[in-house]
């Protein structure tokens, strides 16, 4: 069973296959309307369940469109539709869904929900995001970097801001794709200690540098994410802004990196907070290529899960 639950639980060889296949499928679609089917229809006759306990734009649209392009059909379910773990157990939900669909993608809060879904489902399960990781996003990010600059192996990637779930997946990816990773943010928002320990035990070239100017010296890629989420209270927003203000990605910080350094952000962004509009819209930004590549990378993930 090919579940796609996290970057570090998937072999480096399989990850490379997915990245390369995603790029090939993107190239094959050049010049076609978005709704046109792929020449290959590997998901023909397949039904994919897309479960969202957390709201989404990019994840929902990219998985839905990707499935349709490959000839499959989708069933989109919200947390209110499912009420996961309230009444019927997650294990029983997984068993039932497996009788109806061929693949399950779930975007949820607690990592244990995805883990339990995968344990009891008899079809592949994809982690569309949890509070601890976001592996599909990082597959798109690696694909985007390599599209613009070639192999990411040995490159220096600098994350500024909060050591959140997206950063956690970058940490997993640093092990599997063998790039250097620097975290630059306040101590109060350091990344998951368990994942940091795992990375260091695995020999990942990972450092924490509090000074963002020192962190970006020699950087090939700078990555930022939102400082606050839609669920944060006003007091939390103010505290986070005070902690993170020094880590804003602006023109001066980009100039302190390599001249050909790229900028990424998984979106949605709060312009002129974690990153200035001049950087987002500037020549080093690849944020919209990055957003598009969610589609192509996830198509490759789905094909791998189904052995296609």
- Residue in 126, 87, 77, 76 with CA at minimum distance from that of residue 106: 126
- Residue in 67, 71, 34, 38 with CA at minimum distance from that of residue 50: 67
In whole angstroms, what is the distance from residue 41 CA to residue 67 CA? 10
- DSSP assigned state of 90: H
**Helix, strand, coil percent values for the chain (each to nearest 5):** 45, 15, 40
Q: Look at phi and psi of residue 56 and say left if phi exceeds 0, alpha if psi is from -120 to 50, else beta.
A: beta
Task: Report helix, strand or coil for 258.
Answer: coil
Other C-beta atoms lying within 10 Å of the C-beta of residue 44: 11
- Residue in 136, 163, 152, 156 with CA at minimum distance from that of residue 61: 136
In whole angstroms, what is the distance from residue 247 CA to residue 273 CA? 10
Number of H helices, E strands in the chain: 13, 9
In whole angstroms, what is the distance from residue 299 CA to residue 24 CA? 11
For 63, the token pair is 């998985």
* Catalytic residue annotation: 107, 134, 137, 225, 266, 294
DSSP of 128-157:
EE-SS--HHHHHHHHHHHHHHHS--TT-EE
Helices (H), 150-211: 165-177, 193-201
């Amino acid at each position: 069973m090919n579940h796609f639950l996290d970057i570090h639980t998937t072999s480096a060889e399989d990850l490379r296959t997915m990245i390369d296949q995603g790029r090939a499928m993107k190239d094959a679609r050049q010049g076609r309307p978005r709704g046109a089917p792929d020449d290959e229809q590997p998901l023909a006759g397949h039904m994919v369940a897309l479960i969202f306990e957390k709201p989404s734009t990019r994840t929902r649209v990219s998985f839905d469109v990707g499935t349709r392009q490959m000839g499959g059909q989708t069933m989109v379910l919200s947390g209110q539709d499912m009420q996961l773990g309230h009444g019927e157990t997650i294990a029983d939900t997984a068993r039932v869904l497996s009788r109806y669909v061929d693949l399950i993608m779930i975007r949820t809060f607690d990592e244990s929900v995805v883990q339990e879904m995968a344990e009891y489902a008899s079809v592949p399960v994809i982690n569309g995001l949890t509070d601890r990781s976001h592996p599909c996003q990082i597959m798109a990010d690696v694909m985007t970097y390599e599209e613009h600059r070639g192999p990411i192996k040995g490159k220096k990637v600098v994350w500024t801001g909060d050591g959140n779930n997206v950063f956690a997946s970058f940490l997993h990816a640093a092990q599997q794709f063998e790039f250097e990773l620097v975290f630059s943010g306040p101590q109060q928002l350091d990344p998951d200690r368990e994942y940091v320990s795992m990375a260091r035990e695995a020999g990942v070239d990972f450092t924490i540098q509090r000074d963002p100017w020192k962190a970006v010296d020699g950087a090939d890629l700078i990555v930022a994410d939102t400082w606050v989420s839609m669920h944060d209270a006003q007091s939390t927003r103010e505290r986070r802004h005070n902690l993170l203000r020094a880590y804003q990605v602006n023109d001066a910080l980009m100039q302190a990196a390599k001249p050909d350094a790229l900028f990424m952000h998984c979106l949605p962004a709060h312009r002129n907070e974690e990153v200035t509009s001049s950087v987002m819209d500037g020549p080093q930004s690849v944020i919209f290529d990055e957003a598009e590549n969610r589609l192509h990378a996830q198509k490759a993930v789905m094909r791998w899960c189904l052995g296609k």
